[in-house]
Every structure is written in C-alpha cells, then in structure tokens.
Amino acid sequence: MLLGGALVVRGGALSAVNIAITAGAFRGLARDEVPAGSAIVRLVQQLGGAAGTALLAGIAAASGFHGAFLWSIGLTLVALVPCLAIPAKLS
C-alpha cells in the first residue's frame, strides 16, 4: 500500500516536472526552431528513459528489487540537483 502510494505521487510529480522542462526547452525558440526543439526534447526523453530502465533492470538483476528501488530513489535525488538550477525566468 505504501509503495503504491509513493509510486502514484512520484508519477504525478514526474508529469509536472516533464511539463515544466518541456516548456523551458521551448522558451526562447523562434517559431521555425520549434520542430527541431521538439525532436531533440523527445529524443533526450527516449534515450534517458531507455538508459534508466536498462540501468535499473541491471541493478534489479544483481541485487533484487529492493536494491533497484533504493537506487531509483538515489538517482531521483541526483537528478533533482540540476533541476533546481533551472532559472525561473529567462533574463
């Protein structure tokens, strides 16, 4: 029950962060640059998701699901650092 609740909260938070990062990626782009920006954002999302899944699957195979969940939490905290460096507004 606790794990399910934590995963629901994490999923909602990831969705909110995804919207903010996507909006930040498009801010400052000229109208004709938006298609290329969209392709790059999507590419980075796909590569990051695939790499993260492969990494956590390897950890789960080596140390079990408990270890994979702990690593998932740790990697989420590491990813929080650059997210906090994103400026609220462009100068």
- Asked whether 17 and 1 are in contact (CB, 8 A), the reply is no
Q: Is the pLDDT of residue 20 over 70?
A: yes
Nearest to 56 by CA among 39, 40, 69, 41: 69
Q: What is the mean pLDDT of residues 18-23?
A: 83
Total structural domains within the chain: 1
Cα four-point dihedral sign 44, 45, 49, 50: negative
Give just the sign of the alpha carbon dihedral 23, 26, 32, 38. Answer: negative
Report pLDDT for 33.
93
Q: What is the pLDDT of residue 23?
A: 84
pLDDT of amino acid 39: 93
How far, in Å, CA of 24 to CA of 15, rounded? 14
Residues 60 and 25: their CA atoms lie apart, in Å, by: 33
pTM: 0.69
Tens digits of residue pLDDT in 5-18: 888 988 888 888 88
Average pLDDT over residues 63-68: 90
pLDDT of residue 91: 59
18 backbone dihedrals φ, ψ, rounded to 5°: -60, -40
pLDDT at residue 58 above 70? Answer: yes
90 part of a folded domain: no
Let me know if residue 91 belongs to a domain: no
Q: Which domain holds residue 31?
A: 2-84
Does any domain span residue 89? no
